[in-house]
Amino acid sequence: MLKEKMLNALNEQINAEQYSAFLYLSMSAYLNDKGLPGFANWMYIQYQEELTHANKFFNYVNERGGKVEIKAIKQVDIEFESVIDVVEKTLEHEQLVTSLVNNLVDIAISESDHATQSFLRWFVDEQVEEEANVQEILDTLKLINGQGNGIFMLDREMRQRTFVDETQAAG
Ligand code: FEO
């Protein structure tokens, strides 16, 4: 059985992951509108991934006998300044999510909840990967100044990304 503080924090995280999903869906729409289908595809896959993160938390809370509470998702940004702005905001957002995950780990430790600590390890590792991937894209974008032939080539590369449900692979 999950303790109340842990349960509440996990429920908040379901909402945070769903918010992340809709933020990235909104970014995907913006990038499509700006004629960057590859970036839009990459961001749409981010959206799909975030839904799997929310569902992983959802299933875990259920498995531990807790009651999931689905809450309203706050309005996401729908306008951005440029593709660089989108990717910068993605990195900032992932850094925020990392701090949320770290906070969950802190609660699990303080509650001596070993099962939740073990469950959260997947997310700790995932956040390292997420931040590194976004940082790499941002570095490349800055190198080409977000325009010209470079952005065209990068957009084509971003189109190659396909969706894999990593929450299933890692158990
Ligand atoms: Fe679910 Fe991108 O963190």
Write out pLDDT tens, residues 120-152.
999 999 999 999 999 999 999 999 998 889 999
Sequence-separated contacts (24+) of 34-38 with Cβ below 8 Å: 34/83, 36/83, 36/151, 36/155, 36/158, 37/155, 37/159, 38/154, 38/155, 38/156, 38/157, 38/158, 38/159, 38/160
Q: How large is the C-alpha radius of gyration of the chain?
A: 17
What's the CA-to-centroid distance between 81 and ligand 1, angstroms? 23
pLDDT, average across residues 54-74: 98
Residue 22 reports pLDDT greater than 70: yes
Domains of the chain by start residue, with CATH:
4-68+78-165 (1.20.1260.10)
- Residue % of the chain over a pLDDT of 70: 99
The DSSP letter of residue 111 is: T
Q: What is the pLDDT of residues 36-61, one digit of tens each?
A: 999 999 999 999 999 999 999 999 99
Tokens read off for 165: 């449900």
Q: Is 113's C-beta closer than 6 angstroms to any atom of ligand 1?
A: no
Residue 169 reports pLDDT greater than 80: no
Q: What share of the chain is helix, strand, coil (3-state, %, to 5)?
A: 75, 0, 25
Beta-carbon contacts of 133 under 8 Å, excluding residues fewer than 6 positions away, are none
Q: What is the pTM of this model?
A: 0.95
| Atom number of ligand 1 nearest to Cα 130 | 2
Going by pLDDT thresholds of 50, 70 and 90, the confidence category of residue 170 is: low
Q: Which residue has the tokens 């303790």?
A: 3
Asked whether 44 and 25 are in contact (CB, 8 A), the reply is yes
What's the CA-to-centroid distance between 17 and ligand 1, angstroms? 6
Mean pLDDT of the chain: 96
What's the CA-to-centroid distance between 141 and ligand 1, angstroms? 21
What's the CA-to-centroid distance between 75 and ligand 1, angstroms? 18
Q: Is 17's C-beta closer than 6 angstroms to any atom of ligand 1?
A: yes
